[in-house]
Structure 1
Amino acid sequence: MPRPPTRPAALTGKVFRGSDALASGRLTRGRLRSSAWRRVFPDVYACSSLTVDHRLRARAAARLLVPAAVVSGRSAAALWGVDLAGAYDDVECTVDATCRGGAVQGVRLTRRALPAQDVTSRDGVRVTTPLRTALDLARIEPPEEAVVCVDRFLQQSRRVTLEEARAAAETLTGPGCRRVRAAVARADGLAESPQETRTRLLLHAAPLPRPTAQYVVRDAESRFVARVDFAWPEAKLALEYEGIWHGAPQNVGRDRRRLNALTAAGWTVLFVTAADLADPVALIARVAAALQASGYARRRSPTAP
């Protein structure tokens, strides 16, 4: 049986530059290539006892590769506890326009001036504030993805309100400010998953009455029944995005009880999956048919008998 790797105490549980470890004599080249360490960036290694996720890589980039940088964009969102980047996606950093550093593999550098009030410290590195992070996410292309990211950040971080983001967006000037305002205006900060945001944007773009997001359904005695992703209360029609986790054995019983309660309260529930989002015409037609079947359109029409 192979012996577990031995690690110098000074490097155990740490992220470090390989060249520094070699120069100090703590490691030899052979030991640096052992299973005790995981390569994070060129010349940057992590103890294999650590989980290499985007947060770790963002901290490593800012501490060891580009010390003058401010972690920004999706990487800043990761440091604020919101997962918008994969573990090995490029780390997004901002440096001053006068910074002369070159390209760094695995790091995406943006050169711009950041006001001091837009920068703070977290996890031992400089990072954009939650408000600046939200505005930077609104610059993402394509525009729909920007709305998805802003929604996700507002809902999960709970550090910025939609009203604060919209107010700040109105004060922006310069390139991209219109794009930021448009994305923040379309966000609602309520969606509990990216697919819910995509569903909402699809519904809003369709020739349908706009639904209410995250609607609380109550029975005839005003008792809580369920909260649904989207609702047309007058039609007693709910639409739910059904992700993979709904089919997990531990969730099936709860979901069925919830559906039975909604049905008992007189509600019709439609379910949307990723496959439905890939066929928006059919999805919108299904929602329109359900609204028509409920008599909703007739009740809203001023010429209805």
Structure 2
Amino acid sequence: MPRRVPLPPDLVSRPFSVGEATALGLTPGRLDGPDLVIPFRGVRDRRVPEPLTLEQRCRQYAVRMKPWQFFSHETALALQGVPVPRHPYVVRIHVASHRPQREPRLIGVVGHRLQTRDDAWVEVSGLRVEHVVRAWRQAGMTWPMDDLIAAADHIVGRTTLASLDDLRTELIVMKGRGARRLLRALDDVRAGSESPEESRLRLILGRAGLPEPEVNWVLRDENGRHVARLDLAFRKWRVGAEYDGRHHELDERQFARDVDREADVRRQGWELVRVLRHHLRGDGRAAVRLVREALERRGWRP
């Protein structure tokens, strides 16, 4: 069996175009070798056993991306760290251009030809990505309402990419299909939520008729010492609610810190409700019951 021709060093650790490889002397036979995959027409990459991340798939497509194209919609949000809908939802690769330039038409890519506008894309790790404000509006066409709110919570609270006014201005300027729905979503956005689960918990409690909490409120003792930052704080009734994803359930030191922190909170006269993942399943009624009972114990009445 003839020995396989090694790839040039510059092509070993990244996807590359067929044209680039041919210019470096690789033959069509070598480009069809079993150690390479064809993620998109005209592109080759090293074959790896594990599933690729969204960023890795976008890097494969970027090899053939035209200068006027950029990643848009939910792809742009995900690449900028904005939370996306939960499993089993799978983020697809969206690539857009502005008229009159052409969008891609390729299997595995959702192409968009957007109305004529000045470019606003940003560069994220070398990839051209639609500005987060525009991408959030674009995702509004297909995402569920709670996922849009959670994404906006993140954008205005955990990043410096945009403000609530920026999101609102984009909707007013662009108008069009879905703008009214997105404006309604902005009414429920609260800066400060640190995870989509926290946002979902807040929304579920509010829709159940419970009072609106303060988000990530800092509890201090009588001397002003920081005691804890509570995901959701119902100050009037001294009740806190927190989502616990159980990321540290096997970490003894983290578990001990959590127990000590909860004791500190209770010493300040507060009741802390810990909401676990299974409490949020379905319509979240289990989470509502836990928080409602705590509030009622502290004197709240519907």
TM-score, normalising length: structure 1: 0.82
- Aligned CA distance change for structure 1 residues 193 and 16 (closer, same or farther; 3 Å): same
1:13 aligns with 2:25: no
Cα displacement (A) at 1:192: 1.3
Pairs within 5 Å for 1:36-51: 37=36, 39-47=38-46
Q: Which of 160, 163, 170 is the matching residue for 2:162?
A: 160
- Structure 2 distance, partners of 1:112, 1:100, is 9
Q: Match for 2:204: what amino acid?
A: L
Cα displacement (A) at 1:106: 1.8
Q: Which of 258, 276, 280 is the matching residue for 1:277?
A: 280
Contact 1:245 1:251 in 2 (8 A): no
- Aligned CA distance change for structure 1 residues 138 and 215 (closer, same or farther; 3 Å): farther
Aligned to 2:262: 259
- Aligned CA distance change for structure 1 residues 102 and 119 (closer, same or farther; 3 Å): closer
TM-score, normalising length: structure 2: 0.82
Q: How many residues align?
A: 295
- Aligned CA distance change for structure 1 residues 172 and 113 (closer, same or farther; 3 Å): closer
- Structure 2 distance, partners of 1:271, 1:34, is 51
- Structure 1 distance, partners of 2:259, 2:173, is 47
Cα displacement (A) at 1:241: 0.3
- Structure 2 distance, partners of 1:184, 1:216, is 24
The CA deviation string for residues 68-125 of structure 1, in whole angstroms up to 9 with x for no partner, is 4221122212443446489974211113355556632221112222511533444444
- Structure 1 distance, partners of 2:83, 2:147, is 14
SS at match of 2:217: strand
Q: Match for 1:263: what amino acid?
A: R
Which deviates further from its counterpart, 130-139 or 78-87?
A: 78-87
- Structure 1 distance, partners of 2:199, 2:4, is 46
1:294 aligns with 2:298: yes
SS at match of 1:248: coil
- Aligned CA distance change for structure 1 residues 158 and 33 (closer, same or farther; 3 Å): farther
Contact 2:96 2:103 in 1 (8 A): no
- Structure 2 distance, partners of 1:127, 1:192, is 23
Q: Match for 1:108: what amino acid?
A: V
- Aligned CA distance change for structure 1 residues 273 and 61 (closer, same or farther; 3 Å): same
Q: What is the alpha-carbon root mean square deviation over aligned residues? A: 3.3
The CA deviation string for residues 111-141 of structure 1, in whole angstroms up to 9 with x for no partner, is 2225115334444443222332333344442
- Structure 1 distance, partners of 2:255, 2:120, is 45
Aligned to 2:201: 199
1:221 aligns with 2:220: no
Pairs within 5 Å for 1:66-85: 68-82=68-82, 84=84
The CA deviation string for residues 25-82 of structure 1, in whole angstroms up to 9 with x for no partner, is 32553565344x4553354333469994222322432441555422112221244344
SS at match of 2:153: helix
Q: Match for 1:70: what amino acid?
A: F
Aligned to 2:187: 185
Contact 1:138 1:150 in 2 (8 A): no
